[in-house]
Structure 1
């Protein structure tokens, strides 16, 4: 069994433990802490255990911690009030989400939402006694460490901890290009949320009904999103939306922009179900205001398609990507950068669907446009080269993939410097290709270089660090099984992995 299988087997083991723990604690309070560093995989796990439990008659509910009142007790109490059958069902459980979204610093408050949540948990034990059912609390590794440190009493009565790792293959997906309306485009340099909040406070004091407040809240939402302060960004975007609806009407183009921005935030947070109706409403407004062949409509179509793409609803995404491409080609012409982005996204969709022969000419055409318009050494060209190389790898055309990965790596090193995380990504991709070719001695120095870059540039608990190490360990394992361990170097990390693996044989 190689390491890819090891990771999958351990995740399966953790899932079976979690399901058993839920089933064995019906009718009594049991706190089960689940930890995952990838929200998309987390949602897949939740869907899996809820489907299994529902087949056996279990009532499964979800609770999301509210940024405005970040209290576990209050969130559960609200859920029970809305769904009173939850308290009386003989087999019921609740999944608790949203803690990872309480990332903000203080927004005119004594404590941030996350600080309030952790503080309240320390004194929550007895107050939760009324909820006689298993609770699955989902956290990231970073927040789990904070909880153990800042709420030790709460942490001490957990009924189990279940850790899930992102599947290794998820690190090698094609890169999409997000279509952006003018107001979505990130500002440069990045806006300072504190400065925007001060402008809002000053204007509220002078003219609380000013139409400028909608734009300021919108800008604040974007700035907070750029800082990965999603909980605060949500509040800002919702405020902007409500102000624009009240002042401009429900069908104004600025309302469509706010809807689109809020949907984009929810997509980034993995809250796909909430993003979908916002994207749909934004599209409907822009079609009504501009007509069905306008560039704003093309951007809306692309954004909704990207959401369906992320949800695995490929058949629904395809006609939207195709329609967006047709509009951009009609307005811009066939050699425009926006057309290149559309081609890339449609190709990536076909790639995900296994329709490789259809993806190839689209990737090639996208690459040609970017090279023509931006030059051969642009970062967008590097992304396009990487995607085409990944396609060739999936098709088993390794020798065609190799020079593309090498060129993508060279561009990123030239444009970003030798120690950038994107360079580490390219090194990992090229090393993964060599693994597929059975060239483990060539893969080893690339993995080691990538790991060194990530150690210098990424936080210690960043999921790419674990993924990169797992990929390298899998490569060393494959070399050992293939009788090629003698082709590996004397690097301490390599030799340590070999010792570990030899001890397991």
Structure 2
């Protein structure tokens, strides 16, 4: 066999088939749909042998993506290219001694499993490497070790955002609303998810057929807590804001939330209970831990569905302490979460006891919170431990939606996003986060499946906004014009949204320096707004400002002055005396007078 690697799962749009149904990873494409993947390095791998095929099948019952190598250099190149996922490595004893000293410090490498014929030869040196989990002569114990490590990785990689540090935190409630208000066709969505996972080779055909056949036969919580790929892929998608995954799993997010809401109503109806504590043990990267310390006293959000336990000992011993010991690049965290049922009832913060509906029988003390639950960080304390100084306790208190600090942020943003819902709001949030390529990907995908002219107009409008932010003005102009043409068909000729489209087109022309075309579009926008809106509406003010800006850039200062003055007159009526728009109008007028050489008037403005 040559030294080229092979892989059993690919996240690309296209793959190159080989004789053993493996595929190479397209350049620049994420290699995995989960938070981790497995690399197997062994110079003596023989894919034609039955024991190899059986070993791959056993491993794939634990990890969806397995990439094999026989060449050390190619393996190292591949490993160091990975940025957003963690890597689990099976390596032969002989190659392990060669490669491990070189790669053991790689932050993306989480765990190493030495696979050899003779444990005694390799155990002595392997024992000195913290990331080496053991030396094995059979694949079965490796699979058992992988199961434990994969569970720890998924828990440690739950997406978290911190108030005042992560931009996503500001949008967390709006993102939640956007994802939960989408009404997709469930039957179609299930099939699309299965087809997508089949294309990406994200699970065995047996599992995919089971999901397609039996999805409605089990509860969403059963699927989420089960030993399938649902939890891991959803966790991965929400952590990276992966558009493809979120599009395909939007229906499941809604189903799971609805199931938690149903159980919450059943379990909490009529109950008046005191505050109680739940616990969660997990690993946390040093980067996120430092963010948590900076946010101490502030707010944090878990941006996936959040599982916790009523059993402190299990959370500490099974998850927090092992996380502290397993990786020098992370710390072990024991979250102690104080839950006030009155706050939950008032703010509709949903949670459910999943003991009767979970996949595993040992979940009798597990609580599952809905997506994007927010907590205040009260205290961070190091836990004494004889084996590590990286074990910490973090005390949290569940925070209501009407908390002043949070409510102020959310209310302001909700006004800014008032016209968008569902997928469009999700795209708008991506734009605000600066994730322009992801927003472009989203709107292109939505356009392919849009079922109405209104949706096509909306998605083209948003796509134009994305391209405008990217500085790709010709593409922005094309998208805006496509949106406008559809709007002309489905809307009255003086509808305000037509004015907004002309305004967007004018802005692109202005950015391109084509001022006469910009002026024409801005003037058409103003004509419609004068008919459709009250005389002192802020949008009319905006049109006069835009026209004034164009005249200013063209050097026609008297016309610019006239437009700015009309904008100022509306501002005086529409806004209070100290409003920023008044200052903007006076500033623009002052600039024009300065250009005209009338400096005393410029000073008075």
TM-score, length-normalised on structure 1? Answer: 0.42
Richer in strand (by share): 2
TM-score, length-normalised on structure 2? Answer: 0.36
Larger radius of gyration, structure 1 or 2?
2
Richer in helix (by share): 1
